[in-house]
Amino acid sequence: MTNLYATSCIRFSLNNSQLQLQFFGLEPLIINEQIAQGIMNSENRNYIKIEETPKMYKKKYIKGCLDGLENPKLLVIRFGGIGDVLWTTPALRGLKEKYPTLKIRFACFEKDRELLYNCPYIDELVTNHFPTVTDVEWADYVLDFFDSVEQTGTDEAKVRNPIDISCEWAGVIPSSYLPFIKVEDFESFRMQNLLLQKNVKKEDLKIHIPLTASSPHRTWVYQKELCEMILNKYPNAKIILTSNMIHSKDIAERVLGLKSDKIINLIGALTLRELIALSNEMDLTFTSDTGLVHICGGLGKKSVAIYTSVPRETRISHYPTVRGIQTKTECSPCYFLGEHCKYNELCCTSITAQDVFLELTKQLN
């Protein structure tokens, strides 16, 4: 038998049987070598790292556990997408306000380093590996935010904003519930220069349209029609297209087929930090249910977003500058997060270009 600890959740197949192992915090788990090898060889290891440990530490964070500690140290774990990570920052803000001497070590994916590198509520980022025994031993307590979104199937996460849940888990009321996101002056300067090189001027009406989301049921398909409406109504508009998704090719070809010098192609050309800086320069961003919603919300920039499988109020209730459009299908919200749903196409197409255009004009006015 081997003593192991795990930080989150994993699904894997062993001997033709589908198994699901779910671990919370740092509760000890005793499993045999065969299952351990199956886990370590799994292709679906995005949310887990298992370490052999000579001694188990039960350090699961509970409200008030840092009270009375002179210089408390907290290991915070959040692996996920852009929104998942940004949702935790109001809770971090509240923790720092409540415990001024608190040191926070934050574990996330390497891709999120660009997102959090200048966050004042994080003292140290752990991004080159999953939390190790050394990280656990360093901390007085460990706060794992994995279950604070609907992926885990918890009923609470389906009806509440994850920001509220994260702050409640941390036992704090922050001074602001906006996610922390900041564009540095040099980043703004570089982006302004890039836009000028693309003939996008300060006086232009700048509208950003990322073409796709990470999942098909979140990806809208009427960008071409929307761009035509925008350009017809707003002669001074410049539309900036971005995307890093492979499945955006067909949509991009349709939009670029308009052959307008007012449509600026930055598809695949920007880093995450540059995408954040671009959003900060825009008059409005239109997007599907993606991390850009939370970037715009944190920056206080106007945005319109489409929601299909999740209710819009659970995502944008703390963002006064963001408007959400819910799909018109009777089954929405369904909280389905998989890749294949027989209603995928209907879910995306029930919202027309005219629906989105009306919301855009409301925001711009």
pLDDT at 194 over 50: yes
Over residues 22-31, the pLDDT tens digits come to 333 333 333 3
Least confident of 53-62, 84-93, 315-324: 53-62
Architecture of domain 73-170: 3-Layer(aba) Sandwich (3.40)
pLDDT at 356 over 90: yes
Question: Which pLDDT value is given to residue 134?
Answer: 82
Question: Which pLDDT value is given to residue 176?
Answer: 98
pTM: 0.82
d(CA 48, CA 285): 34
d(CA 154, CA 278): 35
d(CA 273, CA 271): 5
pLDDT at 329 over 70: yes
Any idea which residue has 């027989």 for tokens? 342
CA distances from 248 to 206, 209, 214, 223, 237 (A): 21, 12, 10, 11, 23
Give residue 41's pLDDT band: very low, low, confident or very high (50, 70, 90): very low
pLDDT at 32 over 60: no
Over residues 269-303, the pLDDT tens digits come to 999 999 999 999 999 999 988 899 999 999 999 99
Are the CB atoms for 212 and 288 separated by under 8 Å?
Answer: yes
Kindly state the average pLDDT of the residues 36-56: 41
Query: Where exactly does CATH 3.40.50.2000 map onto the chain?
Result: 73-170, 185-364
Question: Which pLDDT value is given to residue 154?
Answer: 58
Over residues 120-172, the pLDDT tens digits come to 999 999 987 777 778 888 999 999 887 565 554 456 667 889 999 999 989 99
Decide which of 114 and 17 is more confident: 114
Long-range contacts of 228-231 (CB under 8 A, 24+ apart): 228/258, 229/353, 229/354, 229/357, 230/357, 230/360, 231/258, 231/260, 231/262
Over residues 47-72, the pLDDT tens digits come to 334 443 333 346 888 888 999 999 99
pLDDT at 40 over 60: no
Mapped onto helix, strand or coil, the DSSP state of residue 262 is: coil
* Percentage of residues in the chain having pLDDT higher than 70: 76
Mean pLDDT over the full length of the chain:
80
Least confident of 20-24, 115-119, 152-156, 190-194: 20-24
3-state helix, strand, coil in the chain (%, to 5): 35, 20, 45
pLDDT at 247 over 60: no
Are the CB atoms for 163 and 90 separated by under 8 Å?
Answer: yes
d(CA 53, CA 4): 6
Question: Which pLDDT value is given to residue 82?
Answer: 92
Kindly state the average pLDDT of the residues 244-251: 64
Q: Does domain 185-364 have CATH number 3.40.50.2000?
A: yes
The pairing of beta strand 29-31 with beta strand 2-5: antiparallel
Residue among 39, 17, 22, 293 at smallest CA distance from 153: 22
Highest mean pLDDT among 242-246, 247-251, 262-266: 262-266
Least confident of 224-228, 315-319, 335-339: 335-339
